[in-house]
């Protein structure tokens, strides 16, 4: 990441801004801070500012990234996306075309991505996409767990299919004893330049796929791919306190390339519970009591995720009254402080009374001065 400042603040927007407002603000800021439009002595500062606003736009213009950012802030983006992932898919080229009239390619528009970002080894082209794979692809799987598992934590074994380096050629794609050779088309750069009138575009080399090398004698096991698809069983620890839609990041358990391993993201779904509802770190349940218990007070039995406990309700307890059992809820993922269990009392009114009960209730009504 290039910044920890608030993305909305960087673009001069308020949370909830529309897509058009985001695009318009970015367009204005690009015009103002593009390094090609400032004096030489201000170029370094302009490049940093340009990267900052481009990162903010890349996140806020993407529905999924923006939703994560709105909910979790920078931590949600940091856990889910690498620097390359942030810019992948962001449509800068159309904006450059609107502003500069030359597409997102070379010259005044897209060259800034090639010059600024590739200088840091991040390898972006003018559309914000990476030029070549530097590490394995991240994977995402979904896991469904019970509320008990979410509150207390659990270890799960999951099965995933992923690409790993070929064990025969060790990922080179070449038959053992041979080596890849320099790509004759791009001369090892992984990119080639294409001219369109006044503009010069840089694109991934079609011959080597951006690798800079070609394989003349491919490995017989992987057919020159350098990797093979395998199915693996992985044990993952789900920490106490997770909730539905939590993302867990398991580093190094994604796909593998010569540039390293990607990560595995585990999306957690918590099943509906028959007794409890979760509200943040608190758990809510309903307990039925007889009308006599509510009027006179009583000690009742209340379910918890750790078994039943006794709880006293005072005389005159009203319908819907909520009592709190301290630290009987879910732990907070960060502070580890426990939430509470909230017990809502439901008073059961008998539908049928026998003769004695009816007589007593009539006497009760008379004493209360209630006409029945």
At 340-352, the pLDDT tens digits run 999 999 999 999 9
The rounded distance, in Å, linking the Cα atoms of 344 and 322 is 4
Tokens of 136: 């394995």
Q: Which residues contact 61 (CB under 8 A, 6 or more apart)?
A: 19, 22, 23, 26, 90, 91
CATH 2.60.260.20 applies to domain 277-368 = yes
pLDDT confidence band for 39 (50 / 70 / 90): confident
Flag the least confident range among 37-41, 139-143, 220-224, 310-314.
37-41
Cα Rg of the chain, angstroms: 31
Tokens of 126: 């003018």
Tokens of 179: 């080596």
The rounded distance, in Å, linking the Cα atoms of 292 and 361 is 11
> Would you mind telling me the total number of residues written for the chain in this entry?
372
The DSSP output letter for 35 is G
Specify the higher pLDDT residue, 190 or 195: 190
Q: Is the model's pLDDT at 319 over the cut of 50?
A: yes
φ/ψ of residue 139, rounded to 5: -115, 155
Same fold, 133-169+225-272 and 277-368: yes
Task: Give the CATH number of domain 7-119; options: 1.10.150.530, 1.10.357.10, 1.10.287.110, 1.10.10.10.
Answer: 1.10.287.110
pLDDT confidence band for 158 (50 / 70 / 90): very high
Domain residues of the chain, as ranges? 7-119, 133-169+225-272, 277-368
When mean pLDDT is compared over 113-122, 134-143, 313-322, the highest value belongs to 313-322
pLDDT confidence band for 211 (50 / 70 / 90): confident
pLDDT (average), residues 52-69: 88
Do the strands 264-270 and 246-250 form a parallel or antiparallel pair, or are they unpaired?
antiparallel
pLDDT at 189: 85
Domain at 133-169+225-272: CATH code: 2.60.260.20
**Is 37 within 8 Å of 19 (Cβ atoms)?**
no
Specify the higher pLDDT residue, 121 or 343: 343
Specify the higher pLDDT residue, 151 or 188: 151
**Is 323 within 8 Å of 312 (Cβ atoms)?**
no
């Amino acid at each position: 990441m290039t910044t920890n400042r608030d993305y909305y603040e960087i673009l001069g927007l308020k949370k909830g801004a529309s897509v058009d407002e985001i695009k318009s603000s970015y367009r204005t800021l690009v015009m103002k801070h593009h390094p090609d439009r400032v004096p030489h002595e201000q170029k370094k500062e302009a490049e940093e500012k340009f990267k900052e606003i481009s990162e903010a736009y890349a996140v806020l213009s993407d529905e999924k990234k923006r939703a994560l950012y709105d909910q979790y802030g920078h931590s949600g983006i940091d856990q889910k996306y690498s620097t390359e992932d942030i810019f992948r898919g962001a449509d800068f080229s159309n904006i450059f075309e609107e502003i500069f009239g030359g597409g997102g390619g070379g010259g005044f528009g897209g060259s800034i991505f090639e010059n600024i970002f590739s200088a840091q080894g991040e390898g972006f082209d003018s559309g914000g996409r990476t030029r070549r794979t530097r590490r394995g692809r991240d994977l995402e799987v979904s896991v469904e767990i019970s509320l008990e598992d979410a509150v207390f934590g659990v270890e799960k074994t999951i099965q995933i299919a992923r690409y790993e380096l070929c064990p025969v050629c060790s990922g080179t794609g070449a038959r053992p004893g041979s080596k890849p050779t320099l790509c004759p088309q791009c001369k090892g750069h992984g990119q080639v330049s294409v001219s369109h009138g006044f503009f010069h575009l840089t694109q991934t080399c079609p011959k080597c796929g951006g690798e800079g090398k070609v394989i003349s004698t491919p490995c017989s096991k992987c057919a020159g791919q350098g990797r093979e698809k395998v199915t693996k069983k992985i044990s993952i620890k789900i920490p106490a306190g997770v909730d539905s839609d939590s993302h867990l990041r398991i580093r190094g358990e994604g796909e593998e390339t010569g540039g390293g391993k990607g990560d595995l993201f585990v999306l957690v779904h918590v099943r509906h519970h028959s007794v409890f509802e979760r509200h943040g770190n608190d758990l809510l349940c309903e307990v039925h009591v007889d009308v006599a218990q509510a009027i006179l007070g009583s000690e009742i039995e209340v379910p918890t995720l750790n078994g039943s406990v006794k709880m006293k309700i005072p005389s005159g307890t009203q319908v819907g009254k909520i009592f709190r059992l301290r630290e009987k809820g879910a732990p907070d993922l960060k502070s580890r402080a426990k939430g509470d269990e909230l017990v809502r009392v439901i008073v059961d009114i008998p539908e049928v009374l026998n003769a004695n009960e009816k007589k007593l209730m009539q006497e009760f009504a008379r004493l209360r001065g209630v006409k029945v």
